[in-house]
Amino acid sequence: MDKKRGVIGILTGGGDVPGLNPAIRAVTIRALREGYKVIGIRRGWGGLVDIIRDKDADNSNNFQVLTEEIVNRAGRTGGTFLHSSRTNPSKVKKENVPLHLQGQYNEEKNDLTPEVLKNLDYLGIDYMIPIGGDDTLSYGVRLYREGFKVVAIPKTMDNDVPGTDYCIGFSTCVTRTISLTNSLRTIAGSHERIMVLEVFGRYAGFTAMLPTMAGAANRCVIPEYKFNIEHLTEVLVKDRDANPSHYSVLLISEGAMYEGGEMVFKDGTTDAYGHAKLGGIGDLVSARIKELSTKYNKGKPIDVINQNLGYMVRGGDPDAIDSIVPMAFGNLALDLVLGGIHGRLVVLKNGRYDNMPLDIIISTKKLVDVDRYYDTERYRPKYENFEMKPLFIMTSEI
């Protein structure tokens, strides 16, 4: 199409969630109708790192021009058809530097931002709309500080991007967690066991708290509060004794920690943003609960069902909220572009759509307010003072 008003770039970074494709669709359709050209960057920031600035080069793996036909086809599905990565262009390891740039960048870690800016100029992109969590969007802040026009859309099923009550993917994650937990109840009840389900949540416990508040679990432990394993075992055994079907359920965030302990990591590798891969706290807690259960069960051990829900809560189609919110976020981003406004994060705040300064992404952390929402003696959410709270109760920072 002829370039009328400008060119908008859009990308998805970090973990996939249901709701990304609806967001891409919302941005693209509105932008096209307003006279913009839209370019989808493939594999998050990775596509902008790998571009070869040569008219004869094949860059089809790095970007594609988006049309209504393309985005409509994917718009009702989960995942991201643009693909994703955790690439951080400001810290590219030597072995990951693209072949055509290896002569210029040969440090152990390389800042390829100058190449990203040249590639944005090569593509003629005027505005970038990254969709991601705080890691992906933190690089959007870097580009904005370099003088590029950025409008960001928050996405992460952990729901921990600062400045917004809601991030794309969170509702579907909670919905899936409740459904999967209820499906596993029949097994726990049949065998009279304690069930320990590990869920995502590195620093924030929203994905364990909300399903528990909704009745999916008896207890939950979260990254924001270190738990005592003996007390946790005691209350879970009491829950089991009080249940006519003789079982109890615990949701545990992957970033949860014992008193005196630290996060549990799978191995020593880290991603491009310096995060080690979490996983295994559910295994450790399950083994310890079985061992300690004799103390509270007349000397007899209680078997434990141990399941990591993992990727099952981020797969499949988006639920209603993760179909509606991405549409609104995409259109809100276009409202800002049309107004010549940039350096903003689109948000949902106290039930209303709005936008915040982009810098908020790196200025603070969004965590569960333990004093207000978590009962540290009972290891469960507090069920009180709901008046004037937002839809997801504990997700507002105000």
**DSSP string spanning 58-111?**
--TTTEEE--HHHHHHHTTSSS-TT------TTSEEGGGS-GGGTTT--SSEE-
Largest separation between any pair of C-alpha atoms in the chain:
78
Domain presence at residue 333: yes
Domain presence at residue 11: yes
Residue entry with tokens 């008046």 = 387
Question: Can you state the angle between helices 170-191 and 206-213, rounded to 10 degrees?
Answer: 60
**Residues 193 and 207 placed together within one structural domain of the fold:** yes
CATH number of the domain to which 330 belongs: 3.40.50.450
Is 158 a catalytic site residue? yes
Using alpha carbons only, what angle is made at residue 30 by residues 75 and 159, rounded to the nearest 5 degrees?
Answer: 55
**Residues 180 and 215 placed together within one structural domain of the fold:** yes
**Residues 291 and 320 placed together within one structural domain of the fold:** no
Q: Which two tokens stand for residue 317?
A: 């189609």
Return the CA Rg of the chain. Answer: 23
Taken as a whole, the chain contains a residue count of 398
Domain presence at residue 389: no
Domain presence at residue 396: no
Q: Which of 13, 11, 99 lies closest to 57, judged by CA?
A: 99
**Residues 48 and 150 placed together within one structural domain of the fold:** yes
Domain presence at residue 86: yes
**Residues 121 and 43 placed together within one structural domain of the fold:** yes
Neighbour count for residue 42 (Cβ, 10 Å): 23
**Residues 17 and 115 placed together within one structural domain of the fold:** yes
**Residues 320 and 281 placed together within one structural domain of the fold:** no
**Residues 156 and 177 placed together within one structural domain of the fold:** no
Based on the structure, what is the number of domains in the chain?
Answer: 2
**Residues 125 and 196 placed together within one structural domain of the fold:** no
**Residues 74 and 157 placed together within one structural domain of the fold:** yes
Neighbour count for residue 302 (Cβ, 10 Å): 22
Domain presence at residue 285: yes
Range of the domain at 303: 171-313+370-381
> Would you write out the chain's pLDDT as a tens digit for each of its 398 residues?
344 789 999 999 999 999 999 999 999 999 999 999 999 999 999 999 999 999 999 999 999 999 999 999 999 899 999 999 999 999 999 999 999 999 999 999 999 999 999 999 999 999 999 999 999 999 999 999 999 999 999 999 999 999 999 999 999 999 999 999 999 999 999 999 999 999 999 999 999 999 999 999 999 999 999 999 999 999 999 999 999 999 999 999 999 999 987 778 666 566 665 656 666 899 999 999 999 999 999 999 999 999 999 999 999 999 999 999 999 999 999 999 999 999 999 999 988 999 999 999 999 999 999 999 999 999 999 998 888 888 888 888 75
Catalytic residue, from 158, 160, 165, 239: name it: 158
Q: Which of 192, 182, 143, 135 lies closest to 161, judged by CA?
A: 135
Neighbour count for residue 353 (Cβ, 10 Å): 16
**Residues 160 and 238 placed together within one structural domain of the fold:** no
Domain presence at residue 293: yes
**Residues 185 and 284 placed together within one structural domain of the fold:** yes
Domain presence at residue 392: no
